[in-house]
Amino acid sequence: MNPIGIIGGTGLTRLAQLAGQDSELVPTPYGAPSAALVRGVVGGRQVAFLARHGSPHRIPPHRVNYRANLWALHAAGVRRIIAVAAVGGITEGMDDGRVIIPDQVIDYTYGRAHTFFEEDLEEVVHVDFTEPYTPALRRELIAAARELGLDAAETGTYAATQGPRLESAAEVDRLERDGCHIVGMTAMPEAALARELELEYASVAVVANRAAGRADGEITMARIEATLVAGMERVGRLLERVLPQL
């Protein structure tokens, strides 16, 4: 049985529920991934965990080697990925600690290596990206969240910005006008690369803070980290519930 891939973001550099762990740094044609793959079992299900920003957390979002990360998971036999991310909440209801299972993404990033299809091609390759997050995998996450009573937002559009700085209030106003509900820095090109490798991919996002212009006072890392403690505990419970069912 193929392992389920878990990509951990800010606030989730290790998976505490993972039993029988061993790790391996998987070489790729695109360089080294952010960290070694940590393999183990959660609820009887084989899992391969990768810390997106490294372990310890040290790689900023615009410097993550997304191609190497996705290639390493694919080479390890992963065919389904749950990507965890910390985000800012833009619209009403996207409050601190809220869990979101997004269904759409808008890419505002630039200058990132964003495709596997650019060299030594016999023909140009285009992939369908109408639904960037795999509907079947999203449905399983939503069902598990309902069983746990997590009150997760079951849809939402993720604005992927460049970082590492946070956005200005005017930029967040624009994102809201564009139809975005949450803002983060890592959804792209990660989701598109997963699609190019024909991997099922879904995201679980946690609101770490209200976005610029929506929060009271300055947005600080201390405040974000405090919020993520409780938020990632909810994510851990969600993973424990959904993984055995996949």
40 pairs with which residues across the strands?
Answer: 47
* 186 known ligand binder: yes
Determine the angle formed by the axes of helices 66-75 and 187-196, rounding to 10 degrees.
Answer: 40
How far apart, in whole angstroms, are the C-alpha atoms of residue 131 and residue 105?
A: 9
Q: What does the alpha-carbon distance between residue 81 and residue 243 come to, in Å, rounded to a whole number?
A: 11
Q: How far, rounded to the nearest angstrom, does the alpha carbon of residue 220 sit from its chain's CA centroid?
A: 21
- In angstroms, the Cα distances linking 16 to 40, 164, 171, 188 are 11, 27, 36, 26
Q: How far apart are CA 208 and CA 157, in angstroms?
A: 16
Would you say 209 is a known binding-site residue? yes
Side-chain-facing half-sphere of 64: CA atoms under 13 Å: 30
Q: Is 52 flagged in the annotation as binding? A: yes
Q: Is 146 annotated as a binding residue?
A: no
Secondary structure percentages of the chain, helix, strand, coil, to 5: 30, 25, 45
Residues belonging to the binding site for phosphate are: 10, 52-53, 186
Q: Which residues are annotated as a binding site for substrate?
A: 185, 209-211
Binding-site residues from annotation: 10, 52-53, 185-186, 209-211
